[in-house]
Amino acid sequence: MIRWLAVLLSLSLVSGAARAQDKVTFGLDWKAEAEYGGFYQALATGLYAKKGLDVAIRQGGPQVNHPQLLLAGRLDFNITSNGFLALNFVKENIPFRTVAAIFQKEPAVLIAHPGVGNDSFAALKGKPIMISGDTRVGWWNFLKAKFGYSDSQIRPYTFNLGPFLANKNAVQQGYLGSEPFSIKEQAHIDPVVLLVADAGFKGYASLIATSDKMIKEKPDLVQRFLDASIEGWYSYLSGDPTPGNKLIKDANPEMSDALIAFGIAAMKQHGILTSGDAAQLGIGAMTAERWAEFYKATSEEGIYPAGLDITKAYTLQFVNKKVGMGGQP
């Protein structure tokens, strides 16, 4: 009888442990790379598991529309690339919002060849620039307003370096930790790299979004996911990133150790995650003041209508807790 009670107790404990592992599907806005290292680190080192989460990370890419998958309920959380997309949720009355801003600075860049006079944002006025459709409705509007760019300058960007490498006068968009490295590797030149954030762009980037329904019905799950993710980022940037890097390379074999190391160094050098609000409030931080500043700038340019309730674009409920490597506020 005692033995049977022990068996039943054991089964009960196993069942309870299984129930504690909430399944979470998390979509990235691009393929696995260093810019998602903290999430892979949290997965690899068991930080998600310690929070009772069974997390599946889904890569993005040029042919993947994760915002649609989020809206369809096929993802629980998603990386929303920038504040424009978050305000679009509000503008279109879509019940999703951001719960953390992983990047304090937008790591998008414009890249040019050296020695041809394209060495500043101002110098690029009127010149052809290759950008994507998403960029056209995003930070491109900021550059138009500040530097007098026009849509007539836009040329299609196909996420292929070939056109840039073939034309010394070419200018294209890129990502701080990716294209500059690849260009140097392939063309043996140090390209001109203009960080959009350095031009005064105040928008957050790499925001984590989820549904209002998730926030209302499962706030504890949201908190556990964010706490583990943020702890993963501290571990990735300040500790040994090897576990996360292994998962990145498994998911995206195009990632080399050198490229990953370049991405990590770029994020650290430019304070992509740890500057701004995060300096005092921790990685993931957001403030109402900075959201208001971003909205003011974009609405004045006619991108968004006056009177938009931007508090529906975000919630500060889960961040600004200064969660560090030990997971403690």
Q: Which residue has the higher pLDDT, 256 or 324?
A: 256
Rg (CA), the chain: 21
Q: Are residues 185 and 228 in the same domain?
A: no
105 contacts 197 by C-beta, under 8 angstroms: yes
**What six digits make up the tokens of 67?**
């915002």
Q: Are residues 90 and 216 in the same domain?
A: yes
Q: Which residue has the higher pLDDT, 215 or 324?
A: 215
Q: Are residues 114 and 175 in the same domain?
A: yes
Q: Are residues 123 and 192 in the same domain?
A: yes
How large is the average pLDDT for residues 249-264? 97
> Of 200, 90, 98, 66, which is closest to residue 139 (Cα–Cα)?
200
- Give the three-class secondary structure for 245: helix
**What six digits make up the tokens of 6?**
């022990």
CB contact burial 5-17 (16+ within 10 A = b; e otherwise): eeeeeeeeeeeee
Whether the per-residue pLDDT at 196 is higher than 50: the answer is: yes
Q: Which residue has the higher pLDDT, 322 or 80?
A: 80
Q: Is residue 328 part of a domain?
A: no
Q: Are residues 137 and 48 in the same domain?
A: no
Q: Are residues 286 and 222 in the same domain?
A: yes
Q: How high is the pLDDT of residue 169? A: 97
Whether the per-residue pLDDT at 10 is higher than 70: the answer is: no
Domain at 185, CATH number: 3.40.190.120
Angstrom distance (rounded) from CA 32 to CA 179: 15
Domain at 30, CATH number: 3.40.190.10
Q: What pLDDT band is residue 262 in, cutting at 50, 70 and 90?
A: very high
Angstrom distance (rounded) from CA 87 to CA 91: 6
Q: Is residue 319 part of a domain?
A: no
How large is the average pLDDT for residues 286-311? 93
Q: Are residues 250 and 263 in the same domain?
A: yes
Angstrom distance (rounded) from CA 183 to CA 186: 5
Query: What is the DSSP-derived secondary structure letter of residue 212?
Result: H
> Of 117, 170, 108, 95, which is closest to residue 141 (Cα–Cα)?
108
Q: How many domains does the chain have?
A: 2
Q: Is residue 100 part of a domain?
A: yes
Q: Are residues 44 and 175 in the same domain?
A: no
Name the residue range of residue 265's domain: 21-104+203-313
Whether the per-residue pLDDT at 223 is higher than 70: the answer is: yes
Q: How high is the pLDDT of residue 314? A: 98
Q: Is residue 11 part of a domain?
A: no
Q: How high is the pLDDT of residue 323? A: 56
How large is the average pLDDT for residues 240-260? 97
Q: Are residues 95 and 219 in the same domain?
A: yes
Q: Are residues 173 and 95 in the same domain?
A: no
pTM of the predicted structure, to 2 decimals: 0.90
Beta carbons within 8 Å of 24's beta carbon, 6+ residues apart: 48, 53, 54, 55, 56, 76, 77, 221, 225
Q: Is residue 47 part of a domain?
A: yes
Q: How high is the pLDDT of residue 2? A: 47
Q: Are residues 209 and 300 in the same domain?
A: yes
Whether the per-residue pLDDT at 76 is higher than 50: the answer is: yes
Q: Is residue 288 part of a domain?
A: yes
**Beta-carbon count within 10 A of 93 CB:** 7
Whether the per-residue pLDDT at 41 is higher than 90: the answer is: yes
Whether the per-residue pLDDT at 5 is higher than 70: the answer is: no
Q: What pLDDT band is residue 324 in, cutting at 50, 70 and 90?
A: low
Name the average pLDDT for the chain.
Answer: 91
Whether the per-residue pLDDT at 43 is higher than 90: the answer is: yes
**What six digits make up the tokens of 249?**
């390379």
